[in-house]
Structure 1
Amino acid sequence: MKGKILEFNEESRKGVISGDDGKRYALDISEWKGATIPRAGNKIDFSANGENAEAVYADANMTNGASKKIAAALFAFFLGGFGAHKFYLGYNKQGVIMLVTFILGFILLGIPSMIIGIIAFIEFILYLVKSDEDFEQTYVVGNKPWF
């Protein structure tokens, strides 16, 4: 069965999974088959045994945060003024704000466009300095659209 980890406590080494069937299942670290510690938001594949999850694997189709991180950073660097990195990460409203401000900013002597360019460059740096896990938790799972 497919599902998603809702929460995982590293101290108790237990968590909760939301299955695609709408039910919740208990996750124990002894059933985790992945190389890294499970994190909230991870998409998974598991077997249900009553209210417990068994043989829990990270979903092979899950988007890798590292690949999103590099692509988002490159979009922020080369096309950041147009909000391309925002669109790539799924933040369409923020992407439109950046795009419109950048394009219409030239009417006001380019000052708003320069500010948008600076914001995009700051986001480029932030994307690069975050670890892959932090990036994924902050921007992919956590849906934090700005900085």
Structure 2
Amino acid sequence: MKEKSTATLFAIFLGSLGIHRFYLNDVGMGVLYLLTGGLCGIGAIIDIVRLVLMTEEEFNYRYNRPPKY
């Protein structure tokens, strides 16, 4: 189960490398962040703000749902 606090810390300290995107199973964006330095840092800053402002319920709905079969 993914935790909001872990994703936020990854975004703050390793956001320009896209580690938080890999943690949240968004591999495509993780690779893009890795190759572009977090879209020159702007994408990482946006993700940090988005994660900080996101409620725990919204985070769980978005990233901790069971997979669709």
TM-score (norm 2): 0.80
Which of 79, 87, 90 aligns to 2:14? It is 79
Q: Does 1:96 align with 2:14?
A: no
- Root-mean-square deviation over aligned CA pairs: 1.9
Runs of 4+ in 1 over 3 A off after TM superposition: none
Q: Does 1:133 align with 2:68?
A: no
Q: Which whole-Å CA distance do the structure 2 matches of 1:75 and 1:121 have between them? A: 12
Deviation at 1:71, TM superposition (A): 0.6
Letter in 2 for 1:89: L
Letter in 2 for 1:76: A
Report the structure, 1 or 2, having the larger helix content.
2
Identity percentage of aligned residues: 37
Q: How many residues align?
A: 66
Report the structure, 1 or 2, having the larger strand content.
1
Letter in 2 for 1:93: G
Deviation at 1:91, TM superposition (A): 1.1
Gap runs ≥5 in structure 2: none
TM-score (norm 1): 0.41
The structure with higher relative contact order (CA 8 Å, sep 6+) is 2
Q: Which whole-Å CA distance do the structure 1 matches of 2:35 and 2:42 have between them? A: 15
Question: In the alignment, what sits opposite 1:120?
Answer: 44
Gap runs ≥5 in structure 1: 1-62, 103-112, 142-147
Q: Which whole-Å CA distance do the structure 1 matches of 2:49 and 2:63 have between them? A: 14
Which protein has the larger Cα radius of gyration, Structure 1 or Structure 2? 1
